[in-house]
Amino acid sequence: RSAAGAPRPFAIPGDTAHYARDRVVDVEHIKLDIDIDMDNQRIKGVARTTFRPINDGAAYVEFDAVEMEIESVRIQGRRTAARYSYDGAKLRIELGRGRKAGERITTVVSYSASPRRGLYFVAPDEGYPDKPFQVWSQGQDEDSRHWFPCVDFPNEMATSELAVTVPKPMMAISNGRLTGVSERGRKRTYRWRQDQPHVAYLLSVAAGDFAEIKDNVDGLPIQYYVPKGREADGRRALSRTPRMLRFFSDVIGIKYPYAKYAQVVASDFIVGGMENISATTLTENVLQDRRAYPDFFDSGDGLVAHELAHQWFGDLLTCRDWAHGWLNEGFATYFDALFTEHQRGVDEFRLQMRRNGQLYMGEDARHYRRPIVCNTYTEPI
């Protein structure tokens, strides 16, 4: 608290005001080919980004790209390498001349990286010899730039393709529909395509030796990916997903808009869940055995419903800048409560909303005070 007794402000020394980025180009499509090296915890990739300048005269394009080794840069359709500069955080590619508004351009960047954020490797170690081999991404808010070059801000949306090569017996789950799987020696390549535009932080991958549980709702494929041997726990935790999906589609008035809905239970996941478009990643703590599950039912269902609601609020509809991230989280939290009402009645809904309010007001009273719409921060997360 301050000397006057009021809750201390949220902003700390050094925080600055942030505003939505100026858009120089309109990114239309991101096509990634990545090869995952589990032994060395590295990736090697090619990023093809298709965009159109918004105004006449665009002479360069700039991508967020952190701690990468840039091997080559070219503009598709040209044989010669493109001129570029790279400072470890921003990759600036010269377009050769002032381009016209609306002219379609594709840049091709070959790179490699050992990401410290954005893409995480899980493997057995001395303390946990039974830990599985996995790799998964976590892009929100601005960490996708650590594993592929992109315009890493929520006011830029594009369709995407991801071809990811992993060692057998791993499988790789990503966004949209699976368009192909091929094998070569000890490796396997999965190809995914997401046809609805989305922001860069929602492009994702999760790879591991998972068990796949198939479900559906009105013909829409639904998959649950869980550690092998925990299929029963996966069904127990996730089997109400079709009911949630149908309920949200009816209440919102817009049918679930993607080709499938997958949920991947990841080892050591750093948050409770992440609403990657059509492919949510969940903490392994969502899985409980039959004895423990009754004590976990409320929070488990709440997490699943929350991330599913984000498929509309946050994914299909995305805030223009991080000051409005409360719209993503506020709607998802409210629709989690609406599903509670649908399942268990109005009293449970009111109790949940009361608890949500108490949590927020308690934070305001005991920790710090800030506006709900807040653009003053160091990092948006």
Q: Read off the tokens for 208.
A: 């591991």
Q: Read off the tokens for 287.
A: 């899985």
Tell me which DSSP letter residue 20 carries.
P
* H helix or E strand, kind and range, residue 237: helix 231-238
How many angstroms separate the CA atoms of 170 and 189, rounded?
10
Report the DSSP pairing between strands 134-137 and 157-167.
Answer: unpaired
162's CB contacts (< 8 A; 6+ apart) are 32, 34, 174, 175, 191, 192, 203, 205
Contact 112, 148 (CB under 8 A): no
Half-sphere exposure of 328 (CA within 13 A, CB side): 23
Q: From the candidates 161, 307, 341, 363, which is the catalytic residue?
A: 307
**Chain length of the chain:** 381
Q: Read off the tokens for 223.
A: 């998959």
For the beta sheet containing 220-227, the strands, ordered from the edge strand earlier in sequence to the opposite edge, are 210-217, 220-227, 261-266, 279-283, 273-274
* H helix or E strand, kind and range, residue 207: strand 206-208
348 counts as catalytic: no
Residues with catalytic roles = 307
